[in-house]
């Protein structure tokens, strides 16, 4: 029989952690690690939050590793529109995040937590590696990513993190549709039209840095932009009154 913790303790754990470890586990690991996933549309402030979490953690004397993906600047970093930025390690689809952390340990560095930006681009396998780091190595993981792609479908990394994370939080939306409603969906726009089909394009978090997939030609890439819309205006394909009238912007 597993001893049952007092009800009050359970409730407190529930509230603070989102998970309730077995009593024996708690004794072995007094501070269980967590996988927390923050998600939202473009421009909702995810990267700012990522840097804030990193700041809060490092102030407590903890050592973190910042990871990102899809950064082609040559100097990978997590940057936010409010001007904060920090150097980060660039992941690709083949990176084993567990090995990355173990290599740091082998080199004598502490890694208490990971900040993973652009987590929508993780493979399912990498999301599972993050969960393993939490459970087996007691590394806290804070992942930040877009919820859905331009087809309104969950990104693969996002989906797996939804399935595995101890705590999933929608980032307080700071970005509004042109109509004033909260912007929830990332519309791909070519010319004046919302596009809902096509290759999944690599989306950076900030509009000026949008990075189309290598498969697309430079001309196509130049024509693609992204705009956050409410669900209704996404469905209608209406991009707002400027620079041309909404009537001209309908998809069909
Ligand atoms: Zn709207």
Report the distance separating Cα 141 and Cα 133, nearest Å: 8
Order the strands of the 167-170 sheet from edge to edge: 89-91, 64-69, 113-116, 140-146, 35-40, 167-170
Active site residue 220: no
Q: What tokens does 158 get? A: 């996002």
Considering only CA atoms, which of 167, 175, 226, 181 is closest in space to residue 201? 226
**Sign of dihedral through CA atoms 35, 40, 41, 43?**
negative
User: Nearest Cα to 141, choosing from 150, 154, 132?
Assistant: 132
For position 71, what pLDDT does the model report? Answer: 67
Active-site position among 118, 132, 136, 216 = 118
CA 226 – ligand 1 centroid, Å: 15
How far apart CA 213 and CA 120 sit, in angstroms, is: 15
- Residue at token pair 């493979």: 123
Q: How far apart are CA 62 and CA 112, in angstroms?
A: 6
The pLDDT score that the predictor gives to residue 26 is 43
Q: What pLDDT score does 200 carry?
A: 67
**Residue 239 burial class via C-beta count within 10 angstroms: exposed 0-12, middle 13-18, buried 19 and up:** buried
Asked if residue 2 lies in contact with residue 23, where contact means CB atoms within 8 angstroms, the answer is yes
Centroid of ligand 1 to alpha carbon of 229 (angstroms)? 6
Q: Please list, residue by residue across 96-109, b when 16 or more beta carbons sit within 10 angstroms of its beta carbon and e when fewer do.
A: ebbebbeeeeeeee
Separation of 210 CA from ligand 1 center, angstroms? 22
Task: Quote the DSSP letter at residue 176.
Answer: B
Per-residue pLDDT of the chain (252 residues; tens, 9 = 90+): 444 444 444 443 344 344 444 444 444 555 789 999 999 998 888 889 999 999 999 999 999 999 998 766 668 888 887 788 889 999 999 999 999 999 999 999 999 999 999 999 999 999 999 999 999 999 999 999 999 999 999 999 999 999 999 999 999 767 899 999 999 999 999 988 999 887 765 444 443 334 444 445 555 566 889 999 999 999 999 999 865 444 444 343
What distance lies between CA 144 and its chain's CA centroid? 3
pLDDT for residue 192:
87
């Amino acid at each position: 029989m597993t001893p049952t913790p007092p009800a009050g303790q359970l409730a407190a754990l529930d509230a603070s952690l989102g998970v309730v470890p077995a009593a024996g586990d708690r004794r072995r690991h007094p501070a269980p690690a967590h996988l927390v996933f923050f998600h939202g549309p473009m421009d909702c402030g995810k990267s700012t939050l990522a840097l804030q979490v990193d700041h809060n953690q490092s102030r407590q004397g903890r050592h973190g590793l910042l990871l990102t993906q899809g950064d082609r600047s040559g100097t990978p970093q997590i940057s936010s529109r409010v001007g904060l930025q920090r150097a980060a390690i660039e992941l690709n689809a083949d990176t084993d995040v567990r090995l990355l952390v173990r290599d740091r340990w082998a080199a004598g560095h502490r890694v208490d937590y990971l900040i993973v930006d652009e987590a929508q681009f993780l493979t399912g396998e990498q999301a599972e590696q993050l969960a393993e780091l939490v459970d087996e190595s007691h590394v806290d993981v804070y992942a930040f990513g877009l919820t859905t792609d331009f087809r309104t479908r969950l990104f693969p990394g996002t989906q797996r993190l939804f399935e595995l994370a101890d705590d999933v939080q929608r980032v307080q939306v700071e970005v509004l549709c042109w109509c004033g409603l909260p912007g929830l969906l990332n519309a791909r726009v070519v010319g004046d039209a919302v596009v809902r089909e096509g290759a999944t394009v690599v989306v950076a978090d900030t509009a000026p840095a949008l990075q189309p997939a290598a498969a697309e030609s430079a001309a196509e890439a130049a024509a693609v932009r992204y705009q956050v819309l409410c669900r209704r205006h996404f469905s209608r394909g209406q991009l707002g009154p400027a620079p041309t009238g909404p009537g001209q912007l309908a998809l069909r």
